[in-house]
Structure 1
């Protein structure tokens, strides 16, 4: 399969927006098609380029290292994802508590054959109303991404 063309990737709405996804969709469906895109943290879901993702879930573990803080997020989809934050960027007031609900946003990266989220922002204590709204949007994104393969769309002719 040919890698996607740069201009097609740049035009995609999924490439230019925060994609709200379930962790099980990320772990099961995202693949890198080209090393040049993988170096930019761009992966593909059914031909749709994904650069930034947003997930919501409960913090199930926190591991504080010398340079990074790792915490595991469980969204109830059957999979967990590790979020990685640089210690110097995390203030103590921004630290999640165990079992608290968070909204994490960032770039995906593969580390030892497992997906992890390189954290760009973190919202603490997400309300139930905000969670339901997030899940509705994640369902819409899932439907969009699984509806058609972006590479097999018919070409428009003038």
Structure 2
């Protein structure tokens, strides 16, 4: 299948919005990654381009380095994703704790042939109600995007 055209990707409603998705949807997209978009932090879920994602999950590891902080997020979907933040952007109240539930927003980037989340914002200690609301919205996004393969609908719109 041919990769989508740049102008079609830019018009897509999924490209310029925060998409709430499962981590397994993101990691599975590596199989269908278009090489022309690999350097642009864009993956395709059923033909829909996605650049910015919101995730909710449990912090399973934290690695503090000199200039950055890496932590792993597990959302219970069977996959984990690493998140990376600049050390100077994380204050004491924003710093995630091990085994706490967080809401992370960021841009995806490929690092050693795996997706990682380049963190833009982090909400630590999210409530159970927030988690349930997130999962419901993520499930709706998953079902909606799985039903409609954008490239099959029309070759001119994504």
Normalising by structure 1, we get a TM-score of 0.92
Normalising by structure 2, we get a TM-score of 0.92
1:4-52 deviation digits (Å, cap 9, x = unpaired)? 11221111111011110111111113542142x2222111111100010
Q: How far apart, in 1, do the equivalents of 2:154 and 2:105 lie? A: 32
Q: How far apart, in 2, do the equivalents of 1:106 and 1:12 lie? A: 19
Segments of 5+ residues of structure 1 without an aligned counterpart are none
Q: Is the 8 A contact 2:62 2:70 kept in 1?
A: yes
Q: 5 Å matches for 1:1-158?
A: 1-30=1-30, 31-35=32-36, 37-154=37-154
1:109-158 deviation digits (Å, cap 9, x = unpaired)? 111122110101001111111100000110011012211211110479xx
Q: How far apart, in 1, do the equivalents of 2:2 and 2:155 lie? A: 17
Segments of 5+ residues of structure 2 without an aligned counterpart are none
Deviation at 1:63, TM superposition (A): 0.4
Q: Is the 8 A contact 2:41 2:110 kept in 1?
A: no
Cα pair distance change 1:66/1:49, threshold 3 Å: same
Question: The residue matched to 1:19 in structure 2 has which SS?
Answer: strand
Q: Is the 8 A contact 2:29 2:43 kept in 1?
A: no
Q: How far apart, in 1, do the equivalents of 2:6 and 2:66 lie? A: 38
Report the count of equivalent residues.
Answer: 155
